[in-house]
């Protein structure tokens, strides 16, 4: 698990005084960039220099508690499943001991020149494997399963 802490900014809060639901996906993407900071060139190097992207092809969220302006959010990022070209990421957002939401992304390793899926680079796979949740399905696929 890799953790990112960030403060809720004024512009992220809606008229109800809580974080607008769509912002949670932005928080998850920010955490994903942090999650892949250890790859060659960091996340920016992966995108800009190496031209490999990880676009989301499926997203989901379960909301449990609102977040408010000024609160510090802890975002714990793990890999829930690793395939040969795709992975499921899980982002647990919390403020102190209070869980705010769980966001999930299925990302597909993509050649940004051709905009087609491609084999996952070894350094990307290493990061995912280092933070793989201890579930049966994800672990089996990381050890040689053929699911995309």
Strands 98-108 and 110-111: unpaired
Examine the pLDDT at 140 and tell me if it is beyond 80: no
Q: How many residues does the chain have?
A: 148
Q: What is the mean pLDDT of residues 118-140?
A: 84
In this prediction, residue 147 carries a pLDDT of 43
> How many degrees, rounded to 5, is the angle at CA 108 between CA 67 and CA 138?
80
pLDDT at 67 over 60: yes
- Average of per-residue pLDDT across 122-139: 84
What's the chain's average pLDDT?
Answer: 92
CB 103 within 8 A of CB 22: no
Q: Is the pLDDT of residue 133 over 80?
A: yes
pLDDT of residue 18: 96
Provide the terminal-to-terminal Cα distance of the chain, rounded to the nearest Å.
Answer: 23
Over residues 118-128, mean pLDDT: 97
User: Is the model more confident about 143 or about 61?
Assistant: 61
CATH superfamily ID and name for 2-142: Hotdog Thioesterase (3.10.129.10)
Instruction: Specify the pTM.
Output: 0.88
Whether residue 48 is predicted with pLDDT greater than 70 in this model: the reply is yes
Domain residue spans of the chain: 2-142
Q: Is 18 helix (H, G, I), strand (E, B) or coil?
A: coil
Q: Is the pLDDT of residue 58 over 60?
A: yes
pLDDT, position 135 = 74
pLDDT at residue 8, rounded to an integer? 97
Give the percent of the chain with pLDDT over 90: 90
C-alpha 74/C-alpha 91 separation (Å) is 10
C-alpha dist (Å) from residue 59 to 10, 15, 28, 70, 83: 25, 25, 10, 26, 17
């Amino acid at each position: 698990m890799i953790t990112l802490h960030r403060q809720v900014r004024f512009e992220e809060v809606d008229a109800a005084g809580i974080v607008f639901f769509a912002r949670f996906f932005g928080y998850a993407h920010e955490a994903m960039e942090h999650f892949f900071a250890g790859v060659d060139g960091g996340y920016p190097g992966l995108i800009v220099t190496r031209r490999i992207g990880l676009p989301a092809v499926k997203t989901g969220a379960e909301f449990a508690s609102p977040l408010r302006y000024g609160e510090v959010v802890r975002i714990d990022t793990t890999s829930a499943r690793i395939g040969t070209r795709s992975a499921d990421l899980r982002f647990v957002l919390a403020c102190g001991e209070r869980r705010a939401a769980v966001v999930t992304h299925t990302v597909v390793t993509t050649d940004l020149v051709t905009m087609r899926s491609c084999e996952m680079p070894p350094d990307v796979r290493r990061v995912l494997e280092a933070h793989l949740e201890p579930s049966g399905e994800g672990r089996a696929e990381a050890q040689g399963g053929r699911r995309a």
